[in-house]
Amino acid sequence: MCSSVTAMLNTDNITDAVEVNPSDALVLPSRGEGIAPKLLMLIVAILICIGVVIVYSSGAGWAETKYSSSEYFLWRQLTFSVLGIITILLVAQLDYHIFWKTSKLILLGSIILLTSLLALKAVGKISGAARWIGVGPLKFQVSDFAKYAIIFHFSRLISEKQGFIRDLNNSYYPLLTILMTVVSLVALEPNFSTASLIALIGFMMMFIGGVNVRHLLTTFSLLIPVAVVFAIAAPYRVARLLSFTSRDEKEISYQVVQALIGLGNGGLFGLGIGASKQRDLYLPLSYNDFVFVVIGEEYGFVGGVALIALFTGFFICGMIIAKHAPDDFGKYVACGITMAITLFAYINIAVACHLIPTTGVALPFISYGGTALLLNSLGVGILMSISRYKKKAVEKSMKHAMHERKAE
């Protein structure tokens, strides 16, 4: 869907001022192009509302036990949901080319934060998985920020290098170096699943941008053995792989067994809102990584399919916005954001259904957590900004043409 856009801007001076060619801008938006951003907003609003309801339903028992308040997760999720909606509305009013101008700083900031995270872990200031950085309650997951940093800067570089995008030394190697730097830092957190998904997003963006496919295939052939060695280097990752491939129920991980039981309990139409049996006593992180299980148990197969349909609709709307973006940068940013959000959603759902090995990937807009929700809201706001930018350009060009006709 990310084919040539209908109106292209001159990217040579895009950091200074962006002017749309009046002859191109006068091409009126198609019906699908006009509906896509509105439908996208509706889908996101529904997903956020589902998130508030499901997080409360799945996390009330855990919150009562850990924080002595069954509404602890509810109020936090509701707060971040409101902030997310505000973020979408505010960012939608911005000129998305601001992320062109700041992409280098955003990328550099993400690398500094990832390096700081590893340094704090090395000196013992942060223990465990070391995926969050911050002070007190003000913590965020750096890998989420790094994912968007890659999307912004890759969109800029791919746009700038379109004239020689298939060149190995001047195009592919710089892109690959940036991607592998970020992916390696995320993998060392350790966060192998997110690192793999960021790498996949980067490669998909390069493919869409026109990078030589032979270069991509060669890199894949070299990286796969490295990824396999890294995956089996940690005992817990080996256990996950063995659990996934095993046919013996006793060898399958506890989380997966309870997730499958929960999905089975839901049947066709589910047990009803708040009636999940797995969430409190049997399924760890039922409000986060395995939140889809609660949806399947309470709303059944129908509810699960409806949620998948919502994310599919999100993907289609995002790609329509990308297809009709007013310039290459907007096209690649829209593609990257759309692919990132839907990819994370499908991976989370696939894990819950035991279709792929267990990973720590949250369900966008629904799983409990503030960082991912706010950054994904930022992404949606940028999609809205891209869709609005062409509309404003069309209106401006039409007014200009009308004035010229009156002057004649």
Model pLDDT for residues 103-138, shown as the tens digit of each residue: 999 999 999 999 998 888 888 777 665 677 766 666
Contact indicator for 198, 184 with CB cutoff of 8 Å: no
* CA 99/CA 91 separation, integer angstroms: 11
Q: Does a structural domain hold residue 129?
A: yes
Fill in the amino acid letter for 160.
E
Q: What is the pLDDT of residue 192?
A: 86
pLDDT band at 254 (very low <50, low <70, confident <90, very high): confident
pLDDT of residue 13: 40
Residue 281: give the domain boundaries: 30-400
* pLDDT higher than threshold 90 for residue 42: yes
Q: What percent of the chain has pLDDT over 90?
A: 50
Residue range 258-278: average pLDDT?
85
The stretch 303-327 carries a mean pLDDT of 95
Give the pLDDT confidence score for residue 112 in this predicted structure: 94
**Residue 183 has what pLDDT?**
95
Query: Considering the domain boundaries, does residue 3 fall inside one?
Result: no
In a domain, 14, yes or no: no
Task: Provide the pLDDT for residue 379.
Answer: 96
Is residue 228 assigned to a domain?
yes
| pTM across the whole model | 0.87
Q: Quote the pLDDT of residue 30.
A: 63
**What local confidence, expressed as pLDDT, does residue 251 receive?**
55
Within 123-191, where are the H helices? 142-160, 173-187
Answer yes or no: is 287 within a domain.
yes
Q: How many domains does the chain have?
A: 1
What pLDDT was estimated at residue 274? 79
The Cβ of residue 234 has, within 10 Å, a number of other Cβ atoms equal to 12
Contacting residues for 174 by C-beta, under 8 A, at least 6 apart: 157
Query: If you average pLDDT over every residue of the chain, what do you get?
Result: 83
Element (H, E) at 258: helix 254-266
Which region among 141-145, 219-223, 358-362 has the lowest average model confidence (pLDDT)? 358-362
pLDDT digit string (tens) for 174-225? 999 999 999 999 998 888 889 999 999 999 999 999 999 999 999 989 988 8
Distances (CA, A) of 118 to 124, 239, 388: 10, 25, 40
Identify the residue with better confidence: 284 or 345. 345
Flag whether pLDDT at 282 surpasses 90. Answer: no
Residue 11, domain member (yes or no): no
Q: Which pLDDT score, from 0 to 100, does residue 395 have?
A: 58
With 60 as the cut, is the pLDDT of residue 398 above it?
A: no
Can you give the pLDDT at residue 260?
85
What span, in angstroms and rounded, lies between the C-alpha atoms of 18 and 59? 47
Which residues, at least 6 apart from 149, have a Cβ–Cβ distance to it below 8 Å? 103, 106, 107, 109, 110, 182
Structural domain contains residue 269: yes
Residue 395 lies in a domain: yes
